[in-house]
Structure 1
């Protein structure tokens, strides 16, 4: 008898679904607002900002299309970074605090998930720096949301 093929979960599912991403951004932005380097950049963010970021990352990782259908688009998200003049120091601190928060809330720490998670965070924050130092956006407004998968490992180790 043939063994059934195991369905590889999305990164969104493996992380714990929307509650995991909402908790991640809630705890993360608490740290951001107490950080001397990042607080000046984020102190005027709307009360909805952390939820939008949670929904954006969740959608990128294979979750429901809440961000792109209800809260914005990839184009609009990138527009929000224009003229913010983020530095490499801002980026590094943002990444460090996010990864610290991921550990604190027990986001999966298996190598396959963390490889994909960190790869997206590194890619996305580097794109944010480029866009934040631009004054105009040369991008198709219909540009689809990025979609991130497991990468080279191909999925979690399911034994």
Structure 2
């Protein structure tokens, strides 16, 4: 008999459960559509084209949630606070970032459980990037 013992079955990662690369690329693309039009956030992205930032963020989220390790392979450890240190991230920037992310998350057809898990992480991450009073 070729039955696989129950305790050897591997659970799917969050990345796989929500649809993998396509889901994260859509999510991040929608987020950056909002950032592109935001007078507070747009200046924090010095590149004329938001494409490179979008790519980095998509790769980071994919890796964080159990997808390929492409982000670390190309950029090393995420060091999120260090990478954001050159920018003044205050409460207004935090709120604007979450506003655009809320739109992007809500447009994805995720289960309530997945949406909540993702949103909890994003709100935690946004709060941890604040480095300036105000």
With the length of structure 2 as denominator, give the TM-score of the two structures. Answer: 0.80
The yes-or-no answer on 1:52 pairing with 2:53 is: no
Greater share of helix: 2
Q: CA offsets, 1:22-75, max 9 Å, x none? A: 122122112101012222222x13631101101101111111111111233223
SS at match of 1:80: helix
What residue is the counterpart of 1:149 in the other structure? none
CA distance in 2, matches of 1:78, 1:68: 16
Question: Where do 4+ consecutive residues of structure 1 move more than 2 Å?
Answer: 4-9
Q: 1:93 aligns with which of 96, 105, 115?
A: 96
CA distance in 2, matches of 1:123, 1:84: 18
Instruction: Provide the aligned length of Structure 1 versus Structure 2.
Output: 124
Structure 1 pair 39–25 and aligned structure 2 pair: CA distance change class (3 A): same
The yes-or-no answer on 1:70 pairing with 2:71 is: no
The Cα of 1:7 is off from its aligned counterpart by 5.5
CA distance in 1, matches of 2:86, 2:56: 20
Could you tell me which runs of 5 or more consecutive residues in structure 2 were left unpaired when the two chains were aligned.
1-5
With the length of structure 1 as denominator, give the TM-score of the two structures. Answer: 0.68
CA distance in 1, matches of 2:104, 2:32: 10
User: Is this contact kept in 1: 2:105–2:115, CA < 8 A?
Assistant: no
